[in-house]
A and B are shown apart, each in its own frame.
Chain A
Amino acid sequence: MSALRRYFRPEQVRELVLVVLIVALALFFGTQIQDYYTGRTFLRISTSIAIIATVAVGETLVVLTRNLDISVGSMVGFTAYFVGTQLMRHNDIAPLVAVLMAIGIGAAMGLLNGISVAYGKVPSILVTLGTLAIYRTILVEYSGAKTVVANLLPQWVLDLSSMNVFSIGELDFRLLVGLALAVVVLFQLILTYLPYGRHLYAIGSNPDAARVAGFLSQRIVLVAFVLCGALCGLAGFMFLARFSNITVVAAQGMEMEVLAAVVVGGVSIFGGSGTMIGALLGAAMIGLIDQSLIRWLVISEFWRRALLGLLILLAVEGDAVIINRLRSLWVRSELQMAPKQESQ
């Protein structure tokens, strides 16, 4: 019993519930939409999840430190557009250079956010509300009302979105999906095993205690924002590879989907709790709903945003009411168990 309890913490219960919900949703949409279980649907949903999940990983790093980054949509849009124009002008840029350029630009934008939050002591919501507008402005001004068009991009970018890592029967796993999964796994390992990951949790659970304990809080928060920016840059590149045609409104409003993914995935908005696997599951749920609603004819797709808002609220409220109660139940039963074990 106690071993079971050790392996099934409330967080895992939550993630299991999410998995059940996702399967239930997929089954439900299967009964509603014709030809739902096809390779095409899977492709569309998995690519959509890949981009949301990559950004959600970055957002999770920031949210773990009890901060919030709502400028992600503008960062993704800006990198997608900027790298797109560079590739259009210089067709000979090597793939690796293009990816590194995207990551670098994202990191630079994240650095600006991070400095203002960590060293300027400005609340993160205000900084990123401001930079959400600022980065979009720079993009609009830089673009000069032009768009990135597919037929001017080098061939390898266009091929990228149809490259497979492997296929199971009809289901193709695209390179972009593999990349996103690699990012999730990498950062989950960082969170679990590296000191930096544990520091993120420590700062988020109790910022004052972390500072008193001698953590370099400011630097850790700064790095979280920079990493978030870098991942947005990577996602921007994936966005470019997926859509090829990029306008100045690219990825506008993505911050809402990402926030919904993170919160639904069980990353606590109060900081200090949550996993990358959870964020991935959250992204999967949001991506599934997103792409299925487009094809479900019963309700109009305008319900999407209303549903997102409702989901965020339900997730946060569920966290506050149910998970906290579960957690205290766990702690209480562990306390009851403790003396018994000693007597044995």
Chain B
Amino acid sequence: MARSATSPAGGRNLLLGAWERLKSWEGLLLGVLVVIVIINSLQAPAYLSIRNQMNLLQLFIEKLIVALIMTFLIINGEIDLSVCSVMGLAACTFARLYELRVPIEAALLIGLAVGIACGLFNGFWIAYVGLPSLIVTLAGMIGYRGLAYVLLEGRSVGYYPEWLNRLGQQPFIGPFPLVVVIFFVLLVGAIIVLQYSAFGRYVYVIGNSREVARYSGVKVRRVKMALFIVSGLVSALAGLLYAARLGAVRGSTAEGFELDIITMVLMGGVSMYGGIGSLYGVLLSMLVILNIRNGMSLVNLTGHVQTGVIGVLLILSVLVPNLARNIQAILNRRRMSHLAGTLPEAQELP
């Protein structure tokens, strides 16, 4: 439990906590981020300008939004591989209804409802039947994407009304477009819920040990069900925002996004085995990935190379902590045996 309690414990420990955190994984990420930003600024002088940074945020905003809920799921010990397919399905449902001249507000709402339905479907098999989320959502990833293709059959549907396109592109408050505002609202909400609310504690407890949580009276099934429904809803929202921003939808919309999203979460220090991690780390790793991708674009590396680099990052983000833990364990053992050899009273050792 101690490892999962990442929220600041109290006022007097805050400074100490900040220093401890700086030495940790988050500190490493912050260092990497600073280095990348400096390199990028040297490449392009206007890099740090608000307009460029807004632009950057906008380009990845859908992935960032979905990464928020993915953090909840992975801390909970589950995973949702179907998020991008839900994004695509919601966007395609909306586009198909728009094509059939359904009022646009109704089409958007139905798109969101489709996301909730997908979440319900996933959640039912995982929480109530007890199948592993990995395989259920893998089937969902293939199936929902298939349905998206069925809806649009290789066509591309666009020409949405002006105001919808503007949502994603024009400044809404100050320099912030609406999508960015939505992201920040969701981010603050997610931080409050995950790090400071009872529900958030349940998410951690279940991630640490499902059995312990159940015997402690946590309604494990209900929490998992809620998470998957919200995951479907948020993914659908992200898909609709993506459609609004691009101004066109096709069957392959948002295909392959899961790589970036899962990398963001795992590189943020969230453990694949559940129970460990925080949204602060995920936020940092989001910024790292954003800036790495942008930096690679600055030096003319294509999208495919970028995807490959993200793939390497995904593996490294789990591999490096594992190796570090192994080395730490070996060093500890060596030190212990060394101390045990020199000191006669071994039982006094801490």
Contacts and interface: CB of A to CB of B under 8 A. Distances in A.
Contacts of B154: 302
B182 to A, nearest CB: 28
Interface string A24-43: 00000000000000000000
Query: For chain B, what secondary structure do more than half of its interface residues adopt (helix, strand, loop), or is it mixed?
Result: helix
Contacts of B129: 317, 320-321
B149 interface: yes
A309 B272 contact: no
B212 interface: no
A136 interface: yes
Given A123-B272, A312-B142, A313-B143, A134 B135 contact: no
A269 B135 contact: yes
A303 B146 contact: yes
Given A141-B304, A313-B125, A317-B129, A306 B315 contact: no
Contact of A305 (B131, B143, B266): B143
Contacts of A308: 142-143, 146
Contact of B308 (A123, A137, A263): A137
25 contacts: A126-B314, A126-B318, A127-B315, A129-B314, A130-B312, A131-B311, A132-B311, A133-B310, A137-B307, A140-B304, A269-B135, A302-B153, A302-B251, A305-B149, A307-B146, A308-B143, A308-B146, A309-B143, A309-B145, A310-B143, A312-B143, A313-B139, A316-B135, A317-B129, A321-B129
Interface in A88-137: 116, 120-123, 125-127, 129-134, 136-137
A256 interface: yes
B310 A269 contact: no
Given A126-B318, A129-B258, A256 B142 contact: yes
Interface of B: 79, 125, 129-132, 134-136, 138-147, 149-150, 153-154, 251, 256, 258-259, 262, 266, 272, 304-305, 307-308, 310-312, 314-315, 318-319, 322-323
A130 B309 CA distance: 9
Nearest to B141: A309
A317 B121 CA distance: 13
A68 interface: yes
Contacts of A269: 132, 135
A316 B136 contact: yes
A46 to B, nearest CB: 24
Given A308-B146, A309-B144, A122 B322 contact: yes
Nearest to B143: A309
Nearest to A307: B146
